[in-house]
């Protein structure tokens, strides 16, 4: 019985496999077979292709290069009269890829959620515009998507997976020879690698921006001055809103000074800190303001406020540490302290208003919380001291009792037992 079931199952399986084989495209892809036997440029595409998304979706060499894969003979397979295209010219590649990728009906059959606007977007990019004008040094589809090992962007092996993008763009943009004719800098990759954004990205947080987040991928172009704030503001929402309320907004707009990057840079965005508002070498504000003009004074007032709260929080934390080391329970005070820290974080965001009163709203509340936590810590320490005093007193009392008892026992031992004098010689 069991064997009969098993053999029916096997037969069914074989039947299904046979049907699948009949449906599939050419059984042998002679382009791949023949090319895989070559070394180097002729063979590499064939070796890479089996893992390419186009291969896994059943497409073949001929879908891009033309020709007839069912022909074993080289001449017949690669017959230009039969539509073989050979290696496409760089200027033709966007059209070649777009034949499918801009065809909504065709692509929907494979993946309805895939966008089909890559060619349109590409046309708006600096790359696309220059290609149209005959410059073939710019990026075409196959520069960013390695043509025989294309994978979905979500695959860590894809050249357009977020952590890979800096190298994909940097291959050209960090190459001084390639970029020489244009006279634009080639330090973007280097600078970006020194940024908090890169650090965050390589730390595994894919929410950090890469080249393509700020410039666009297919529509890659430098953001104009007016839109830089928007680019940064897509993630740093509050800073953008508060900047718009600052006294810088109108005069900077009029003078075409770009919002965020004037203070933070574009590629090498670094960690910030209160020192940016101070008067030391890191000072941002003194790059444009004098110490005693309205901007300089504002900077000092905000600086004093933030560093003041920071040191209050530090003092409170030190007291709580001591209380905790002494074994006292200060969990509630710790919570108060961390609420105080929240206020400091908020106040640092409020800096973007450049209005001291706005910053003070949060630092004032923070200071109260720091003080509350510190007092709770001091109370705990006082209680600890009180308990220690009590303990010392009871120890003295116990010592006194033990001592008295001991004296008592000694005096009992020393007393001669009755009748001893009688037996002495």
The total number of residues written for the chain in this structure: 425
Q: Give the span between the Cα atoms of 41 and 86, in whole angstroms.
A: 13
If the CB atoms of residues 233 and 340 are measured against ligand HEC, the closer one turns out to be: 233
49, 253, 46, 237: which is closest to 150 by C-alpha?
49
Q: Which of 131, 149, 219, 260 binds ligand HEC (CB under 6 A)?
A: 260
Q: Which of 91, 111, 202, 311 binds ligand HEC (CB under 6 A)?
A: 111
- Give me 224's structure tokens: 């104009």
In DSSP notation, 1-24 reads -HHHHHHHHHHHHHHHHHHHHHHS
Q: Which of 7, 8, 207, 311 binds ligand HEC (CB under 6 A)?
A: 207
3-state secondary structure of 407: helix
If the CB atoms of residues 126 and 381 are measured against ligand HEC, the closer one turns out to be: 126
Q: Which of 163, 194, 223, 308 binds ligand HEC (CB under 6 A)?
A: 223
Shortest Å, Cβ 337 to ligand HEC = 19
Q: Which of 287, 325, 414, 424 binds ligand HEC (CB under 6 A)?
A: 287
Give residues 114-173 in contact with ligand HEC (rule: CB under 6 A): 114-115, 118-119, 122, 126-127, 130, 137-145, 147-148, 150, 152-153, 160, 165-166, 168-173
Q: Which of 18, 104, 222, 314 binds ligand HEC (CB under 6 A)?
A: 222
Give the alpha-carbon dihedral of 400, 402, 408, 411, to 10 degrees.
Answer: -100
162, 164, 330, 356: which is closest to 246 by C-alpha?
356
Interaction of residue 30 with ligand HEC, rule CB under 6 A:
yes
Shortest Å, Cβ 340 to ligand HEC = 16
Render the burial of 379-415: b for 16+ CB within 10 Å, e for the rest. Answer: ebbeeeeeeeeeeeeeeeeeeeeeeeeeeeeeeeeee
Give residues 360-419 in contact with ligand HEC (rule: CB under 6 A): none
Q: Which residues are CB-contacts of 82 (< 8 A; sequence separation ≥ 6)?
A: 66, 67, 68, 76
Q: Give the span between the Cα atoms of 128 and 120, in whole angstroms.
A: 9
- By rule CB under 6 A, what count of residues binds ligand HEC? 140
If the CB atoms of residues 148 and 367 are measured against ligand HEC, the closer one turns out to be: 148
Q: Which stretch binds ligand HEC (CB under 6 A): 233-241, 378-386, 395-403, 415-423?
A: 233-241
Give residues 303-332 in contact with ligand HEC (rule: CB under 6 A): 306
Give residues 33-62 in contact with ligand HEC (rule: CB under 6 A): 34-35, 41-42, 45-46, 49, 53-54, 57, 59, 61-62
User: In Å, what is the CA distance from 156 to each residue of 102, 152, 193?
Assistant: 25, 9, 19
Q: Give the span between the Cα atoms of 188 and 209, in whole angstroms.
A: 14
Shortest Å, Cβ 78 to ligand HEC = 5
Shortest Å, Cβ 395 to ligand HEC = 51
Shortest Å, Cβ 154 to ligand HEC = 7
If the CB atoms of residues 347 and 380 are measured against ligand HEC, the closer one turns out to be: 347
């Amino acid at each position: 019985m069991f064997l009969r079931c098993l053999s029916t199952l096997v037969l069914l399986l074989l039947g299904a496999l046979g049907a699948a084989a009949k449906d599939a495209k050419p059984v042998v892809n002679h382009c791949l077979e023949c090319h895989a036997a070559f070394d180097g440029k002729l063979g590499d595409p064939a070796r890479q292709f089996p893992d390419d998304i186009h291969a896994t979706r059943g497409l073949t060499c001929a879908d891009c290069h033309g020709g007839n894969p069912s022909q074993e003979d080289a001449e017949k397979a690669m017959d230009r009269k039969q539509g073989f295209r050979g290696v496409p010219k760089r200027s033709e590649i966007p059209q070649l890829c777009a034949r499918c990728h801009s065809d909504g009906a065709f692509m929907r059959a494979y993946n309805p959620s895939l966008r089909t606007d890559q060619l349109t977007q590409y046309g708006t990019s600096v790359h696309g515009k220059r290609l149209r004008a005959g410059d073939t040094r710019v990026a075409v589809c196959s520069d960013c998507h390695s043509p025989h090992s294309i994978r979905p962007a979500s695959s860590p092996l894809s050249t357009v997976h977020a952590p890979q993008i800096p190298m994909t763009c940097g291959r050209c943009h960090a190459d001084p020879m390639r970029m020489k004719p244009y006279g634009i800098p080639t330090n973007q990759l280097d600078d970006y690698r020194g940024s908090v954004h890169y650090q965050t990205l390589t730390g595994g947080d894919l929410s950090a921006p890469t080249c393509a987040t700020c410039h666009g991928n297919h529509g890659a172009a430098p953001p104009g001055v007016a839109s830089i704030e928007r680019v940064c503001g897509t993630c740093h929402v509050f800073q953008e809103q508060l900047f718009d309320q600052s006294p810088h907004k109108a005069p900077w707009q009029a003078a075409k000074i770009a919002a965020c990057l004037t203070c933070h840079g574009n590629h090498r965005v670094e960690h910030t800190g209160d020192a940016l508002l101070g008067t030391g070498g890191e000072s941002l504000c003194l790059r444009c303001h004098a110490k005693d003009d309205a901007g300089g004074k504002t900077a000092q007032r905000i600086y004093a406020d933030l560093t003041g709260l920071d040191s209050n929080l530090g003092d409170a934390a030190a007291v709580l540490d001591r209380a905790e080391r002494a074994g006292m329970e200060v969990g509630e005070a710790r919570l108060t302290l961390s609420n105080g820290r929240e206020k400091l974080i908020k106040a640092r965001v409020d800096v973007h208003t450049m209005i001291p009163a706005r910053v003070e709203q949060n630092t004032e509340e923070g200071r109260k919380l720091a003080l509350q936590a510190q007092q709770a810590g001091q109370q705990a320490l006082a209680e600890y001291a009180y308990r220690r005093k009590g303990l010392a007193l009871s120890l003295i009392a116990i010592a006194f009792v033990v001592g008295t008892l001991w004296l008592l026992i000694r005096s009992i031992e020393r007393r001669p037992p009755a009748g001893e004098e009688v037996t002495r010689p």
